[in-house]
Structures are given as structure tokens and as C-alpha cells.
Amino acid sequence: MGMQAGRLRERVTFKRLTDTPTAAGGSTRTWAVLAGMTRVPAEVIGQSGREAMIANTLQGIATYVIAIRYRDGIRANDQVIWHSSGGDLELNVLAPPVDRFGDRTQLQIFADTSTPQGA
């Protein structure tokens, strides 16, 4: 079952936490955009919301399902920047993407607004 282009009205960019060498010989952890993963057409659907204590502060956390055309290279713990009409929103991939129909046409990605791991 193919993916209808008309559903892919949003744009998302994928990032991964990487170690970047410093001039002093150490490294620093930064979010780097994945090659070929900038402004990817997507469908973004809000699923639920909840509250959680993060750093002694009550924060709202929203969960989303993101559907894109199939591509390799996205992992759990990556980050998604949703370029929404209200501004960019950072989302954190919660689990490995799912090949929804098993035919390598569509990936389903579960993400939320919680604090990213390793940040």
C-alpha cells in the first residue's frame, strides 16, 4: 500500500546526537542533521498529552506519530524538528521506526516533546 503524497503536508528534519572533536583534543556532544534528512515531507498527527516532573518542574509532554516515505537510517533516540506553521518544535524519537505495511513504502515514527536522552 503506497503513501499518498497529499498527506505529506508537513516538513521534518532529523538529527542525531554526535561527538564533535574540540581543539583541545576532547569532544563535545551536539545534535547534527542527518545527511539527506532535511525538510522531509511528512504527516504529523498528535496522539496524546500528559504532564511529568522534569528537573523539579511540571512540564507538558505531547506525543506524535510521524509518517514519512520509507528511508533507512532513523534510530530511536534521534531527534525530529517539526517545521510547523506555529514554529519549529523539537521531538524525540521514542522507538525504532516501524515499516507499517512491511513493503518499504512508509515509516511510522513515534516521538514526543520530552527531554532528549543524552542531552
pTM: 0.82
> What b/e sequence results for 30-65 when a residue is b if at least 16 CB atoms lie within 10 Å of its CB, and e otherwise?
eeeebeebeebebbbeeeeeeeeeeeeeeeeeebbe
The per-residue pLDDT for range 54-96, each reduced to its tens digit, is: 666 656 788 999 999 999 999 999 999 999 988 999 999 999 9
Percentage of the chain exceeding pLDDT 70 = 83
Q: CA 82, CA 72: separation in Å to the nearest integer? A: 19
| CATH number of the 7-112 domain | 2.40.10.270
- Cell numbers 503506497 correspond to 2
CA 94 to chain centre: 8
Q: How far is CA 96 from CA 41, 44, 76, in A?
A: 19, 17, 5
